[in-house]
Structure formats: C-alpha cells, structure tokens
Amino acid sequence: MTDSQPNIDVNSLSTTAKPSPKSDSMDDGNLRPTLVRASAGTGKTYRLTARLLRILLQGAAPETILATTFTRKAAGEILERVLLSLARAADESDPDALDALRQQVGIPTLPRSVCLKLLETLLKNIHRLRICTLDSLFSQLARSFPFELGLPPAWRLTDEIEEAWLRERAVDSVIAMLDRGEMMAVLSMLGKGDIKRSIARELLQVVEAAYGSQRLAGPDVWKKLIAPKLPESAEITRAAGVMRMAQPKQKRHRDKLEKMAEVLELRQFDAFAGDTMIANIASARRSHGEVLYYRAPFPEGVDEAFDVAYAAAKSDVLSRMSAQNEATGTVIGAYDHHVGQLKQSGRSIGFEDVAIRLAAEFSRLDQHSLAQRMDGAVDHLLLDEFQDTSPVQWSVLRPMAMRCAAVESPRENHSGDEERTVPKSFFCVGDTKQAIYGWRGGVAEIFDAVADEVPGITEVEQNTSFRSSPVVVDAVNETFKNLGRHSICDAADSRDPTDKAMYEAVAVRDFARRFPVHSTAKSDLPGHFQLETCSAVENGDSAARQRACFEDAARIAAEINAANPDRSIGILTRTNRGVAQLIYLLEQMDVDVSQEGGNPLTDSAAVEMVLSALMMAEHPGDGRWAFHISATPLAKVPGFGADFVRAMCDDRGIPETIEFLAGQLAPLCDARETLRLKQLTSLALGYQQNPAPRLRDFVRMVREKRVERPQAAPVRVMTVHQSKGLEFDAVILPELDGALTRARGGCVPDIDTPSSPPKGLSRYIGSASWHFLPATWQRAFGRQAEGAMTEALCLLYVAMTRARQSLRIVIQPTSKKAFATRTASSLIYHALQCQEDPTEPATVLYSQGDPQWMGSPDPDSVTARNDASASEREATTIRFRPPVDAA
C-alpha cells in the first residue's frame, strides 16, 4: 500500500477498563480473541464496527482485514458505518461526532486529524477492505484455487431455480441408468417395502433430504445402523405355542395373544411394527415392570414369549431400516455422479459445492499459499452472525481463525527469513437465541464450540437493548424466563431415551434456564404490549380462524398507520402464504404496504397473460393457452398466434418478445401490474444467459421464483426469517397458532461434535418406533428433536424482539380453557400467567404499557432508514416498446 497508515498507541491513549466475561462492557485496548454473545437490539453491528475501527486505527493495512456476514445488506451497513463515523468525526463543525467515535473505540484522546487521514486512506484503498458475505468470500477463494478445486473453465454460480432443474435432470439420469429390476429393488428398499407411484418424485425427496449430509462424510455413513439377527425359528415356534396355550381371564387378552401367535407362526413380523402391545413390552423392559394391556397384566409364563416377539419385531424393523439406509446411500452416490457431470459440462457450480471443495482443500493448505492467492495474509478476522454458520463454512474459516487468534506471530518475507512480528486479532459475534437457519445448514452449537477450539478467547455478553422500550423488553423477559410454566415441560424428567416429548421438554426448559435477563437503555421510551384473541368466526375451521387473525392484524396496522403515518409497522408471519393473504387484505383497506421476500410473479393477471402466450408457442396443440389469450388484448395484435410468438422468440430472443408482449398490456395496467411486468422482463434478461433456454423452462422459473415487490411504505409484511436484522416501531404477530415443530422426514446424523462431519446417517423413523433403535441412535434422533424445538423458540424470540415500542400478538381462540396446545401462542399465554378465558373471541388476554404510545415518538426511529433500504431495492425501470410487426 502506498499511503502510510495512521498509527497511534491506543494502549497509551485508552482509559477504558478491562472487560470481564459475562459483561456488557466494550473491549479494552488489547485486541485479544473475543467472542461476543449479543442479544437482539444490543448493538451487535456497533460493537463489530468499533472493533474494525480500532484495528484500522492501530495501523493495520486494509487488505489484512476480513469481516464476514450473511447478507449484502449487513456488509454494506458495516462499511457505511465505518466511513460515515470517520467522515463525521473529521468534520470540525461536528464535535459531538468525534466524541461519539472516541467513546465507541475507547480512545478518549483520538485526534481529528487521524480520523481524516484514515478516511482518506480507506477511500483510496476501498477495493482492498474486505467486508463481504460468506458467499462472496467463498467465490473469491474458489477463483483463487480453480485448479486445486477442480472447477471447470469460466465457471459460474447457480441459483436455487437452476439447482432444482439440475436435480431433476440428474434424477432422470439415475432412473435411466438402472434396469427395471434394479430400480424396483432400490425403490422397495427406499420405501421399506412399499413402491411409490412416482419414481422420480420419490428419488427427488431422497436427494433433497439426504444429499447435503452425505457429502460431508461419504457413502459408508449409511451402513452404521446394524440390525440384530432374528431369533431362531424354533424359538419363534415355541413362543407362538406358549401364547396359544396361555389362559388369561380377559377375552381381549386372549384375542391379543392369538393374533400375536398367528403373526409369529406366519413370520409376518412387519405387523408388529406399530403394534401397541410391542410398545408395551418395550416399556415394561425399560422400567423392569409387568407387561400390561388395557392396564391389566398377563398371566405368568408368557414373558419369554413376549421377549421373542419383541426381538423378532425389532429385527424386522431395523433390517428394513438398514436396507433403506443402504439404498439411500446407493441412490445418493449415483445422483452425485450424474449431477457432477451435468454441472461440469454446463460450467456451473452451486454455493454448497464451492464450500465443500474449499473445506477439503483448506484442510491441507499452508497459510503462506493462502496469503499469496488472496493477495495478502488475513491478520484480523471478524465474523458476524456466527450462530448461522454451518460445519462446512466453519471448516473453511477455522484455519484463518486459528492463525488470527494467535495474538502475534512472525511474518516471513519472500526469502523465507523472518521479517517482523505481526499483530493479529480474532473477533466473532452472534446470538444462539437467534439461530433460525438450521434448515439451511446453520448449526448454532458451533458458536459455543468456538470457545473450546480457539485458544485464549474471551467471552463477553451484552444484554442491554438499545432498540426496545421497557414494556417490550419486560414482555420478552417474562415470556422466555417462564417457559417452564407450560405443561410441555412436564416430560423433562421422564429420563426415557425413547420419548420424543422428553427431548422437546428439555429443549424448552434449557432455553428458559439459559435465557439472560434483558435490560434497556431507553428507560423513558413508552411502549405497549398486548396479547389478544381474534374476532369470532361462526362455524369456522382452523383456516377460517387464521383468516380472522390476519384480518385483525391488518385492521390494527391500518389503525396505527392512520393515527401516525410516520410509524414503521412490521407484520410478521411464519409462512409466505400468510404474507400474500395480508398483502391482499391491506390493499383492500387502501393501506400503503411493501411486500418483502416476494411471491412468484403469477400473482399478476398481466404476467399470466404473457406466460400463456409463451406456452401457446411451446405447445400449439394445447388449446388451453390459446383460449386464455383469446380473451386478452394480445388477441387483437394482427396475426397473433403460436407461430407469431415462436418466430419472435427465435428471431429476437425471449427478453425482447416479453418486452413486446408486456408493451401491449401495459397501457391497460395499474401501477402494481405494470411493476410486475417490468420484473418479468428483468427475469427474462437474466434467463437469456442460460446455455439452453427453453420457453417452458422459463415459464416454470417464473412460476417458482419469488420476486419482491418493494416500495417505500410504512407498513411492511414479511416472514419472521426475512425480518432478521430489521426493527419496527410496531410489530404485529398474527400466525403463532401452528405446531411449534413439524414432523421431520429426511435423515438423522450421528455426530460427535457440532463442527465434525457425521459418523453415521439414518433415514427418519417415527418416534413411536424409537424404542427399537440402539441407544446411540436413540440419542441421535432425540438430539434432532431437541434442535427442532430450540429453533422454534429462536424463531419466536426473533419475532418478538423486532419491536421498538409496540408488540401486538393476535391468536386464535382455543377450544379448551386449559390451553395446553403445543403452540407458540400457548407458551406465551402460560408464561405470562394470563387470567382471561382463552376460548373467548375478541378478548384481551394480557396488556401492559400505554396504548397511546404513538403520541411519544422515539428520536432514534428507523422508519426513514427502513424506507430508504426499500427504495434502494426498487425494481429496474424498463421502457416498453410500442407495438411492432413481428414479421
């Protein structure tokens, strides 16, 4: 670097006290390895920016710093804060900004001239300051090691739509590779004896569930579940005879023994799989008690026969499960071969492919080679949102983290001699309570494992919110510290390793026990919290009650917006379907609303007309598309038909064809429909780069790809996942009545540590059959259930902590006063010890704070900031051309 770095002795200037673990204090002058557990709204980005500024002020060159986060928005915000903080501190007319920066970095005597010099240096070397997403970092690393990673020339990253297409093509290749006999055998094993009607769909489900896990370990992990042998034939026959000869007093007991004896005699052990009697035998063996049936014991002399029956059932279930596992490994191996060939020939590669190849390469790469390829050694590593890191990502980052955690080390010159001692630093920040991306591969436990893996690390907690009012913070504290009041936790002490409810109860209890009490820095900020049931619905099912919740949420948002249009309002849902319903309701109320996360463009009638025209050209013999077009303005174009559209696509390409079709419809469209047509044209421009563009594939992409409809609006609707990192003056939660956890299919890993690859994999089996599993696999299945419940609680925490002043929760009236459902709404109701009847509609169950909070604005409101970020993402304007003659 040509410009000299400002270098001041921060240790001599700083007067901040040394922080102790488990505190909210800032770092001292030493850049010791630090792990920060930052609760929601406590200034995570502020602290990371402070650390970055301190590193720069100590003279570190920009190219020696690497800061990673998970979204481009967050990366841009960090860079923006660094530059603006220095620019404002260098402004002589703004002494408060300099004082604020001094306090932030802990250097009370920081000169203004140093800020100006550092700002100038950064602006000249902005391209060398690496503040980026993990996707961007891994892409850069992959381009630095193309030959070592085996990447094709001129490779490109795929998106989720192209990945889905490649999966389907690879599955088709797998099906074509096997003859009919082999395919039937594999499918029989995959389905535990049942052959599904759709072969491709069955294989796709297997691939989606298990491919990512197997890639981390290899095909042998599917062979770890060993089935026990069947009892000897003579034992089985003897057990059947004992059951037939037994003379229980109760008829139902005699009938049950007769049926069990018949199963044993016919060797049809699969009939035992879901049998209550077999489960009772297992329960009696675990508790060393009697075998009961309808709460009554059997006569003496049949216990050994029961043991034989249970052993036969266990062998049968685990044998079929083992065969299913091995068949899964076979299918995944074949799929991996074919999808790899497709990607190599198409010069495309997925982000997960890049990460896995990098992890394998970095395990044997020396730091000198890495520094050369990256255009400079990384001496300072800062990791943001670390709770969302996956094991593969941590495998790539770990070598750099270990090197940077060593406070100082000698740097070698090109001749190999030691040149000078280089200061280094490691910093990561995150919050395991906000780990909501387990479905995407994130493993929150890695955050906890860092303290053990990185030497000499200091742990710091910060739980003082700079976002929320005391009322909102109190509601969060009361909810999560008292989760144990719900009956769901009663199973926590059962100590039954086959009981799924026990693992889930432990997860809830541990979340509450570990939850730190939050405080707020805005003690004078008014706020309001309210839990209420939705309006009455006559003869309504669950879907009707959910619609009532959405209607009430839309009404509340409309009322707040009418009372104070400057307030930012966020309506957060669990599903994208809920987003679409709320958008419709708010538009019906004439509320200016911005949709986040997106829906497919097919929510537009004009887009559907264009797609019908394309499908008419692709399938001219299918009269559906021509019938649809006949009732649209496109039918009035001279000579319009399938040949017209096909000729235009061949001569001008898909984007120009869509631009022409949209131009015919735009004059008749409102602003919303016109925006959707513009976005359709943008999709076509991107799709044109596809190496083999097909009309039907483009139409399918449009029907599947979610596209945002952003606009600067005070009311924003999105899923809880999409709200991560945002905040609103008022938050409304209308969708908390669904089950906390959903039934998980897929596969279950057996792992030693969170950061290690699985040593075994198994397809999922229902909790009613866990008693057949070996103890190791019972714990593996239990850990998965525990993790699913923890992630559900994290999702609830993220939803509730987005609010600054107002938090409104609208739930469905329950059918029973006990309200013991396994839902988020029930957890909140019992944690707050609500006294009102939850079966009554339109009832306030709990209320705290000032309902008129809108009259007391927060001076630090983020309304303008949120609106600005929305307007930055506004769709590219496309000029529609006037009608032209296709000929």
Where is the binding site for ATP, in residues? Answer: 38-45
DSSP state of 567: S
From the CB of residue 668, how many other CB atoms can be counted at a distance below 10 Å?
11
Pair 794, 574: CB distance under 8 Å = no
Burial code (b: 16+ CB inside 10 Å, e: under 16) for 209-236 equals bbbbbbbbbeeebbebbebeebbeeebb
Listed residue (181, 7, 16, 188) closest to 106, CA to CA: 16
**Coil, strand or helix: which one is 622?**
coil
- Rounded distance between C-alpha atoms, residue 649 and residue 610, angstroms: 13
The encoded tokens of residue 637 equal: 């174009």
Sign of the four-CA dihedral 849, 853, 858, 864? positive
The angle, 0 to 180 degrees and rounded to 10, between the axes of the packed helices 671-687 and 695-704 is 130
Cα dist from 625 to 18, 618, 619, whole Å: 72, 10, 8
Rounded Cα gap, residues 811 and 570, in angstroms: 17
Which residues, 6 or more positions from 671, have their beta carbon under 8 angstroms from its beta carbon? Answer: none
Which residues are documented as binding site?
38-45
Contact 85, 94 (CB under 8 A): no
Which two structure tokens, joined as six digits, stand for 58? Answer: 């100590």
The residues near 644 (Cβ < 8 Å, ≥ 6 apart) are: 637, 886
Q: Answer yes or no: are the C-beta atoms of 428 and 67 closer than 8 Å.
A: no
Give the residue among 171, 193, 175, 173 at the shortest CA–CA distance from 183: 175
β-pairing, 803-811 with 728-733? Answer: parallel
Q: What angle do CA 845, 476, 443 make, to 5 degrees?
A: 125
Please tell me the distance from the alpha carbon of residue 141 to that of residue 147, in angstroms, as a whole number: 12
Contact 533, 681 (CB under 8 A): no
Other beta carbons within 10 angstroms of residue 860's beta carbon come to 11
Q: Determine the Cα–Cα distance for residues 792 and 477; give it in Å rounded to an integer.
A: 17
CB 796 within 8 A of CB 736: yes
Cα distance between residue 540 and residue 547, in whole Å: 10
Report which of 812, 840, 841 is spatially closest to residue 544, judged by C-alpha positions.
812
Place of tokens 């049942």: 194
Residue 540 to residue 549: CA distance in whole angstroms:
12
Give the whole-angstrom CA distance, residue 404 versus residue 853. 47
Q: Name the 3-class secondary structure at 252.
A: helix
3-class secondary-structure state, position 476:
helix
